[in-house]
Structure 1
Amino acid sequence: LTDVCNFKGQVHECHNGKMALDYIENKGEFASNGTTYPKPELILLDINMPVMNGFEFLDAYKVLPKDLRGGIVISMLTSSLNKLDKDKAEKYHDVSDFITKPITKEHLLDIVEKHFGKQMKS
């Protein structure tokens, strides 16, 4: 995101859904140093991840306190063309977009403009 879209904000990468939940809740490895991590504005959520997949993440995310999840845009990513995945994702009110990978620069620019009202230079 930073290289592709000249984004100047902070990007944090989590390799599975459990790690992402720990980040949001400041638990696990994210609680050890006493730092409160910034609440994400955007989550690019892959369906297929180790430990906890995207749907398992969404099930756990939807029961988090509202102050932890409110205002976060979730764009779900998949390499699958399975319509059932899209239908299932659409049942989660927290999912704002469903994007087939690979994600492109144009996808990222569209997400930013759609949800944050910002046009980024391409």
Structure 2
Amino acid sequence: MVETVLLIDDDKATQYINKRIITKHHDFKNVLTFLGGDIALSYLKSINVSFIKKPQLILLDLNMPSMNGWEFIEAYNQLDDEIIEHSKLIILTTSTDPRDISRSKNIKGVSDYIIKPLSNEKLDLILESYFVNS
């Protein structure tokens, strides 16, 4: 069971669809949505407050205007280790560019690279790969 998911995507329609897919899946509980990496980063920085749940999964779009996914990852890697170690960060994007895929494999903090659209099958793979023993 994945208790808390952060979904970071600037496209409201895509975000709505992905949130519905995640919440309808029986192994995902809470989905918090953010329209930009900068807003999500502010949330993650506030996690030191005890009542705020640490996300177990972060789904991150790459192509966003105010702070793109790569900039988010760079800032994310500067956060407290307790947050980073608790979360799996997965890029969820439309980019099939081999340079993006290769770059994601060489950046600290990125667990996986998934091409949109999100589906139950892809959520099942995430569960099997990263949460089978949690």
Deviation at residue 26 of structure 1 after TM alignment: 1.4
Listed as ranges, the gaps of 5+ residues in structure 1 are 28-33
Provide the TM-score with structure 1 as the length reference: 0.82
Provide the TM-score with structure 2 as the length reference: 0.75
Q: Would you say the 8 A contact 2:38–2:72 is kept in 1?
A: yes
- Distance verdict in 2 for CA 1:115–1:8, change over 3 Å: closer
Deviation at residue 58 of structure 1 after TM alignment: 0.4
Partner of 1:62: 77
Cα distance in 1 for partners of 2:27, 2:65 equals: 28
Partner of 1:40: 55
Q: How many residues align?
A: 111
Q: Would you say the 8 A contact 1:26–1:36 is kept in 2?
A: no
1:2 to 23, 27, 30: 23
2:35 to 1, 12, 15: 15
Moved over 3 A (4+): none
When Rg is computed on C-alpha atoms for both structures, the one with the higher figure is 1
Partner of 2:129: 114
Cα distance in 1 for partners of 2:102, 2:28 equals: 34
Q: Would you say the 8 A contact 2:54–2:86 is kept in 1?
A: no
Partner of 1:103: 118
Partner of 1:31: none
2:44 to 24, 39, 63: 24
1:94 to 98, 102, 109: 109
Cα distance in 2 for partners of 1:72, 1:56 equals: 18
Deviation at residue 116 of structure 1 after TM alignment: 0.6
Deviation at residue 8 of structure 1 after TM alignment: 5.2
Aligned partner of 1:15: which letter?
Answer: L
